[in-house]
Each structure stands twice: as C-alpha cells, then as structure tokens.
Amino acid sequence: MMKNYNNQKKVLLAVDCIIFGFDKKNLKILLIKRDFEPEKGHWSLMGGFLKTDENLDEAATRVLNHLTGLDNVYMEQLRSYSALDRDPVERTVSVSYYALINIEEHSTLNESFSAKWFNIEDKPDLIFDHNLMVKNAMSRLRYRASTKPIGFELLPEKFTMKQLQTLYEAILGETLDKRNFINKINGLDILIKTEEKDMGSSRKGSYFYTFDEEKYKVKVSDGFAFKL
C-alpha cells in the first residue's frame, strides 16, 4: 500500500477566502496586493496552503485570522477549483470559502498585505481564477441571503430598516419596493424594535432594530423557513 502512495505525484492544496463586508451603503470585498511572483503587485484574494496538521476549515480560519485578526465570523466552504493551468508555478487545487464581516465593528487589517476594501461592482481584475471565485461566491451569497438570515452578519448589532433594505439591495443587485420589503421583514417576526433612533437619517429619525437570534432558532425548530 505504501508503495502505491510513493508512486503518486504530489499536488498542492490551497484555500482562498472571498471576504465580503458592508459599510451601510455598499457591499464590499476585501483584496490584497500580491507580494511575490507570479503576478506580483496585482490584486488577489487572501489565500494560503493547507498545512499537514489542519483540515480545510481550520486552514480557512487561519488565513482569515492572519489578515483580519478575526476568528469568529460567518464562513462557508464554497467549491473547489482544479483546472490544470490555474496556477502557473505548481499543480495546485484550491478550495474557496466566503466570509461575512461587519466592517464598522471590525476594521483592523494586517497592513503587511496592503489590503483594501473595494465596492463589489468596482473591484479590479484579479489573478488566476479569482474572478470566477468571486462570481460564484456572489451567486451563493444571494441564494443564502434569500433563504437564511446571514445578512445580519454584515450589519452592526443595531440597524435601521433602511440600512437592512440597502444591504439586501446591494446583495441581490436590484432595487426593492420599500413597502413590500418592510412587510416581508415584519412578517418574519424575527426583529426587535428598540426605543432608540438614528437621528441622522431624517428629521423624525428612524428606529433601530436588532436581530432576535434566539427567537429565530425556536421558530426554525418549529418548522419556520426564512424567505425573502
């Protein structure tokens, strides 16, 4: 059996992280400037190789933590990429993950990577097959945001209904009718309306809401399905 293993050519296994954020107006993606060849100086996703003492989820968490200092954010494995020529240096298979970060509360980045947030529609061209990774991640994010309350991961703890609608419009890439959106959200019955107001939004101000995660979990256990 060992002889069969020894006869096999080695293939590198990497993870690449598509990191999304939201600044109350725009959906953003976090990119780094690659500091080694090939493609040195070009924009890239944050990635790294799998170590022998970790699994893929642990590797993705390590990569994300190294760039942002965070280790407790929403992250989901997306898919694998194995085109023969995807990396010009070595035969490399990459498994992509996407993560959701609240920019307002977590803005500190590792400066050694020249990391920068870009509006998703204005992102630069990326190296290798990273553009395809971002495209696939956006498709998954849109689906997940319509069937699970993961959008709240991108918002501060307290948010206005307008901020919530703006977030979903940014994710879905379309303008939503205000009345229909509010009716759908209220119909889900998973938000708590606070007594606080955002006085910067209008003369009367807008009430802040919070996501009632415990109530959501109870509703799911009773067969509730989140759908927007």
Write out pLDDT tens, residues 135-194. 999 999 999 999 999 999 999 999 999 999 999 999 999 999 999 999 999 999 999 999
Higher pLDDT, 106 or 71: 71
> pLDDT at position 109, please?
75
> pLDDT at position 35, please?
87
Residue 220's pLDDT band, with cuts at 50, 70 and 90, is very high
Write out pLDDT tens, residues 34-43. 988 999 999 9
Check if the beta carbon of residue 21 is closer than 8 Å to that of residue 103. yes
Structure tokens at 190: 């998973």
Q: Residue 106 pLDDT > 80, yes or no?
A: no
Q: Residue 49 pLDDT > 90, yes or no?
A: yes
Q: Residue 1 pLDDT > 60, yes or no?
A: no
Q: Residue 110 pLDDT > 90, yes or no?
A: no
Locate tokens 């979990």: which residue? 217
> pLDDT at position 203, please?
78
Check if the beta carbon of residue 97 is closer than 8 Å to that of residue 15. yes
Check if the beta carbon of residue 55 is closer than 8 Å to that of residue 72. no
Residue 2's pLDDT band, with cuts at 50, 70 and 90, is low
**Once rounded to an integer, what is the mean pLDDT over residues 11-20?**
97
Beta bridge partners of 191: 211
> pLDDT at position 75, please?
96
CA dihedral 19, 82, 141, 211 (to 10 degrees): -60
Pairing of strands 46-49, 12-22: antiparallel
Residue 169: half-sphere exposure toward Cβ, Cα within 13 Å: 17
- In sequence order, the 6+-apart residues with CB closer than 8 A to the CB of 92 are 11, 12, 13, 14, 86
Amino acid at 71: D
Domains and CATH numbers, the chain: 2-147 (3.90.79.10), 157-221 (1.10.10.10)
Predicted structure pTM score: 0.92
Q: Residue 111 pLDDT > 80, yes or no?
A: no
**Once rounded to an integer, what is the mean pLDDT over residues 90-119?**
87
Check if the beta carbon of residue 12 is closer than 8 Å to that of residue 90. yes
Count other C-beta atoms under 10 Å from residue 47's C-beta: 23
Torsions phi, psi for 157 (to 5 deg): -60, -40
Residue 19's pLDDT band, with cuts at 50, 70 and 90, is very high
Check if the beta carbon of residue 198 is closer than 8 Å to that of residue 208. yes
> pLDDT at position 18, please?
98
Lowest mean pLDDT among 65-69, 120-124, 158-162: 65-69
